[in-house]
Amino acid sequence: MMNALFLILLICVTIGCKKAELKSEVILKKNISNPPVLPEDKSIRIDSTLLISFNSKALSDFYKSTNYRTIWHSKDNRKIILAELLKSDEEGLNPADYKVKTLSDFEKKSAKLDDSDLSKYDILLTSSLQKYISHLTNGTLNPRKLYKNWDLKGNYIDINETLTDLLDSDSLADKIEQLKPNHIVYKRLKKALRLINTFPKDNFKALKIEQIISPNDTNPSIIDIKKRLTYWKELQYKDSLTSIYDEETVLAIEKFQNRHGLAVDAIIGPATIASLNFSKKQRTQQIIVNLERWKWYPKEMGKEYVIINIPDYRLTLVKDRDTLRTHRVIVGRAKRKTPILSSKLTQVVFNPTWTVPPTILREDVIPAILKSINYLSESNIKVYDSNGRIVSPYEWQLSNARSYRYVQSPGTFNSLGMVKIIFPNRFSVYLHDTNHRDYFDKIDRSLSSGCVRVDDPLELTEYLLDDAFNWNLEKITEILQNEKTKFIKIKKEVSFHLLYWTAWSENNKLIFRDDIYNLDANLYSKLRN
């Protein structure tokens, strides 16, 4: 009997031990799948007074949402952010703006920092990253505060929502990369910055010539010109330099002229000399300001869009990231700049009338009438008073000149040509044909009063109307011949962007254009002040 009781007791004890063993195993497995928080990842309470000196609502709001706890516990994430801030100059930004030296010093001592310094490090890292996110997505400066004729909406971004998204990401570096402008021109500008940084320091003196230099001329300035061409890798001279403008130098000058949007004629004149006189430092600054501008521009241009680069005098039509067609354009001269804006193409007008805008009326038309009363009839301009009554040239009075409405009738002599393409904007500018088509052969096409004149506009119009039956070139020509004004809606969705950039790269070559509105140097000084 005693043996039986002992046996039962032994079995009970064994079963109990097995259950305890099983329970212990389950707990252990849970601890493996959910490891305890390591000391490195320990969150620290932040004294909210440390945020005051930053004077940033976004920063205060963010730490309020974390219940005033540190967030950058991962050493890997800190290193990714520091590396990104250190190489921010690749985006045309200034690493010093993000306190990279102080952050690097904190990181070197991170294992030995007390709670107070860890809090300061965490806050500074967050503040710098917030600023970097803002600069990547909207630029360092606000163009709407710099220019009256720039009408671009800011690229909206919720900084703290973006920051939270970065924290939750498995790939922090990839997420930061996605914040950068993705347009091909921005990428070509970054490539241009890398290219120009490979050039050595230059110390050339300004070139001066008293007269143009033609092929086969002998001129003492040719030696210095050859040195410049050699520096910019347009020319490879193995022998001693001579003052003869030889065939090899002619080819080099033509390459240089082509890269700078000059007349490729091998004639060394003022425009070529002016471009040769740009230093590496000036060209680097030019690239940096263009990187800034591209951060202002829309992140999404649209599935199909027309984009015009004002200094390049070129219109490009893009669909699904493929260039479908390009057209030469004429843009506003420096005193009547073409505005920078984004819109949608909405309407085509065949045989448009032209109502003279106030600036042209004041500066061009009224002075012309005062010189000759025949100007109105010769220009086919009708004058209307406030009641809509036609005012004959002999009734026209200077005292009422600005209260009249001046309308040029349709026809081949009309200033807008045969077609006008409308996009809503507050500047009353549009795309149009011209009765001076010979102007498209000029190199400097900064000639208009603000609107954009387009070469071969009927081909562009046919494409935009996208109706091979009703709006082919033959049907369009018939409408134009009757000289009656006709309005046609553009049914397809085509975005429109009037932009400004003076530098980029193509096929490992630096490309520059004249800064026709003199914006580059002034913008750089504002960026670095």
**What is the set of active-site residues?**
432, 451
Task: Determine the 3-state secondary structure of 495 from DSSP.
Answer: strand
- Which of these, 203, 178, 200, 195, lies nearest to 287 by C-alpha position? 195
- Which of these, 83, 67, 76, 91, lies nearest to 170 by C-alpha position? 76
DSSP letter at 213 equals B
Q: ∠442-448-450 over CA atoms, to 5°? A: 140
- Which of these, 464, 468, 513, lies nearest to 324 by C-alpha position? 464
Residues 6 or more apart whose CB falls under 8 angstroms from that of 87 comprise: 95
Alpha carbon separation from 524 to 103, 135, 141, 293, 377 (Å, rounded): 26, 15, 11, 11, 49
Mutual angle of helices 115-138 and 280-296, in 10-degree steps: 90
Single-letter amino acid code for the residue at 440? F
Tokens of 306: 């027309």
Single-letter amino acid code for the residue at 261? G
Task: Determine the 3-state secondary structure of 326 from DSSP.
Answer: strand
